[in-house]
Amino acid sequence: MAVLARLGVIVVLWAVVAEGILDPVDFLALQAVRRSLDDMPGSSFFEAWDFTADPCGFPGVFCDGNKVSALALGDPRAGSPGLSGRLDQALGRLSALTELSLVPGRVEGELPESLSSCRNLRFLAVSKNLISGQIPDGLGGLSNLRTLDVSFNQISGTIPASIATLPSITNLILCHNHLTGGIPSFPDSSPLIRLDLKHNDLSGGVPNLPSTLQYLSLSANRLTGTVDSVLPRLTRLNYLDLSMNQLDGPIPASVFTLPLSVLQLQRNFFSGLLQPANDVTIQVVDLSYNRFWGPVSPLLAGVGQLYLNNNRFTGEVPARLVQELVGSGGLQVLYLQHNFLTGIEISPASSLPSSVSLCLMYNCMVPPVYAPCPLKAGSTNTRPADQCPEWRG
């Protein structure tokens, strides 16, 4: 009987070990992670990390059996001060890790190269910290990685070509860093939905991008060349921002048929006529500070906020735009300042609704109605006559 009792105790202990005790490799890896990070003043995230207890019960630690499957470092509540320190190479020893996130804080140093050993990693997000160095090439070997977000850090170097060929990547968010070089080419088979590379120092042209894209932001870089062969195939785009680059050439009419809610192309060198084929219903269209010329299309009357200022548009403002603006239609903002427009059909006695904004300054006409313009429009109402050969009064 005593032997059977001892055997029963052994079985119970074995069950506890099997179900409740973390794998020793993962246990030691978590201890190394804890030593490399600290709570910033006001944060108490690590107070409950008492290694005399089961780490699978720690805040931010999620286990599958006796392995760590997800690690959410830091208090996720809004306003939490976050963490400081560095990300330890021991993270790479968490062989079952599928998700790693880090709340905004002051974590510095480089992304651990060892993360490339986490072959099951699907989600990696460490935005709004002080992480520097380069994106590890080894991350390009994580075939299950769907989201890579290292935005708002101090990461430099080039984007590894292998990142663009990740077979499962849907969200690639590298904005607000110091990345240089070109945008890598993505295969047509890429499932990429969101590509956010804004506010870096990227150069070169815009490569062919996968047709699965729904969100594309490349603003505030040094990109050059044309996009007329790139954009038409992105038929699922609902957000497009290429502003503040050095892009040139025409904008194809098909861009205005994309299912966009926002189209931002301002502050480039785009040129040519704007000739949408059908009524445009995009909520925000900003084409300001470019070199577009010719008449303003009446098919833009369905836009919610339309910025065409600082271009080379000529002729009269289409009556449809005026009707939408004065009649409290969908058009709420119409900026036409700093062009070569010669007239607008609007009564000087018209009272613009308080909810709309119209700016006509510095064209080849005297603005017939008073409407407050942004300060950067200047204080000169009309262009000099020698710049306005078509102006007849």
pTM of the model: 0.92
- 70-97: b (≥16 Cβ within 10 Å) or e: bbbbbbeeeebbbbbbbbbbbbbbbebb
| Residue extents of the structural domains in the chain | 247-392
Q: pLDDT at position 20, please?
A: 59
Q: Residue for token digits 């989201």?
A: 147
Helix H, strand E, coil C: the string for 46-99 is HHHCCCCCCHHHCCCEEEECCEEEEEEECCCCCCCCCEEEECCHHHHHCCCCCE
Among the CATH numbers 3.80.10.10, 1.10.3720.10, 3.40.50.300, 3.40.50.2300, which is that of 247-392? 3.80.10.10
Distance, CA of 353 to CA of 334 (rounded, Å) = 13
The CA distance from 15 to 10, in Å, is 9
Question: pLDDT at position 350, please?
Answer: 67
CB contact at 8 A, 93 and 114: yes
Q: How many C-alpha atoms does 280 have within 13 Å on its Cβ side?
A: 31
pLDDT at 217: 98
Give the per-residue pLDDT at 3. Answer: 40
pLDDT score of 368: 85
124, 148 contact by CB (below 8 A)? yes
Element (H, E) at 272: strand 269-272
- Mean pLDDT score across all residues of the chain: 92
**In the prediction, which pLDDT does 293 show?**
97
Per-residue model confidence (pLDDT) at position 163: 97
What's the rounded Cα separation, in Å, for the pair 76 and 156? Answer: 27
- Mean pLDDT per segment of 10 residues, for the chain of length 393 residues? 40 39 96 98 95 96 97 90 97 98 97 97 98 97 98 98 97 98 96 98 97 98 97 97 98 96 98 95 98 97 97 95 84 96 81 86 89 87 88 53
Residue 11, pLDDT score: 32
User: CA of 234: how far to CAs of 199, 208, 240, in Å?
Assistant: 22, 10, 10
d(CA 250, CA 268): 11
The count of C-alpha atoms lying within 13 angstroms of the C-alpha of 328, restricted to the half-sphere facing its C-beta, is 4
